[in-house]
Amino acid sequence: MQEQYRTPAREGVHETETNRSRFICAIAPVATERDARDFVARIRRTHPTATHNCFAYVLGADAAVQKAGDDGEPGGTAGVPMLQMLLRRDVRYAVAVVTRYYGGVKLGAGGLIRAYGGAVGEALDALGTVTRRRFRLAAVTVDHQRAGKVENDLRATGREVRDVRYGQSVTIEIGLPDSDVDAFRAWLADTTAGTAVLELGGEAYGEA
């Protein structure tokens, strides 16, 4: 399973020019394939007179869903190099649309591949990405007397405290890297004199 991946920091647009053709790359983080398709449709509505609106998107931490479209460019010269750029940069849960306004100079297959892939790479550089790492969801249950210190210590050591619930005891939900579970268990036992209970849950991805 993928330990980490990158995703666009935000939705945005970056424009480049190659031999008088304008290449406008719109990129956005997306959670589902429907989100990706809706984004592609929105960009096409924004640029109805463009020569081409080519797209690529990748979903899943392991890139389980990969789609690309050339929108009239010669097969394999637009959507595929865009997709390859996303994959090469380890970008996931992302959609890119490159809008081309033809400038009168033919680029040839190699030129198109470089232009479309390059437009995505430059947009990622300009807009930035965030890294998400795989972690294990965990719940720490501790008595009220120790809960405040445990929570403060967790935050002070940079742990991701996701939720705190108060009842007969206090449950603190956190995210742990798999490699850190054993050391954390030992630290928790030491800090709470063995009174805290650690329950491990499923896996998720969070911002690094």
CATH number for the domain whose boundaries are 4-127: 3.30.230.30
Closest alpha carbon to 36 in 52, 64, 60, 59 = 59
- The low-confidence residues of the chain, meaning pLDDT below 50, are none
Kindly report the pTM of this predicted structure.
0.75
pLDDT tens, position by position, 80-104: 999 999 999 999 999 999 999 998 8
Please write the tens of the pLDDT for every residue from 36-67.
999 999 999 999 999 999 999 999 988 999 99
CATH among 3.90.380.10, 3.30.70.240, 3.40.640.10, 3.40.50.720 for 131-207: 3.30.70.240
C-beta separation of 57 from 67 below 8 A: yes
119 closest CA partner among 147, 89, 82, 87: 82
For the chain, the maximum distance between any two Cα atoms, rounded to a whole number of angstroms, is 75
* 4-127 and 131-207 have identical folds: no
Give me the pLDDT at residue 134, please: 83
Report domain extents, the chain.
Answer: 4-127, 131-207
